[in-house]
Amino acid sequence: MRAFVAVPLPADFEEWLQEYRSSLGEFAPRTVPASSCHMTLRFLGEMSENDMHAAGRLLETDLTECAVISMCLDTIGVFLKNGKPSVLWLGPSHKTEEVVNLAVRVRKVLYGFGTGRQEDSFTPHITLARFSSRGTPADAAVLRNRLPKPFTFVMDQVVLYESVLGQGHPLYLPHGTVFLRRFAE
C-alpha cells in the first residue's frame, strides 16, 4: 500500500479554500478537494501492511510527547517541473522551528520505511491545485500575486495515511493518528 504521514486540516479550511478559489477566475488550475488537503511531513511510498502497523506504533510512541503547533498559512507558492508550473501551494511565509523539528522527527523515526526517497529539505505547504501541461510561468505569477487572507490553525495531530489511487483524486485512509500534547507539563 502507498503511504505518507501528514497533518490534517480542520473543517473550517474548506470555507477558506472556497473563498480563495473564487478569486482565481480563468487562472484556476485543477483544484484539490478540501477533503484531500493536508501538510505532508513524509512521503513513504509503498509499504506492506506489517510495516504500516509498525510505523503507526513507532509514531505513537515517539510523537506523543510533542506539543501542538500554531501555524499561519499566509503565502502562495508554485513548484516548477521542467521549468513549468506544476503545483500551486499554500504555506507559511517562514518556516517555524517547531514544524521543521516535527517533520525531522517523523523522518528519523520512520527512516528505512517505505520506498519513498528521503528528501533533504522540508517545505511546509498544502497543495491547493495542479497545473495542466498548458500552464505557463505567467499563470503562476498571477496566482502567486493573489495572496489569500491568512489561514491559522492548530496542528494537533499527525496521521499515517494510506493513499488509494483510482480515477479522479486519491482517497486517503487513516491508519493511525497521534494526538499531540495540548499543554506544556
In CATH, the architecture of 2-179 is Alpha-Beta Complex (3.90)
Q: What is the pLDDT of residues 151-185, one digit of tens each?
A: 999 999 999 999 998 777 788 999 999 999 876 55
Q: What is the pLDDT of residues 29-78, one digit of tens each?
A: 678 889 899 999 999 999 999 999 999 999 999 998 899 999 999 988 88
Q: Which of 80-84, 107-111, 151-155, 172-176 has the lowest mean pLDDT?
A: 80-84
DSSP label at 42? E
pTM: 0.89
Q: Kind of pairing, strands 38-46 and 69-73?
A: unpaired
| Alpha helix ranges (H) inside the chain | 13-22, 49-63, 97-109, 137-144
Contact predicate 17/37, CB 8 Å? yes
**Where does residue 175 fall: left (phi above 0), alpha (psi -120 to 50 degrees), or beta otherwise?**
alpha
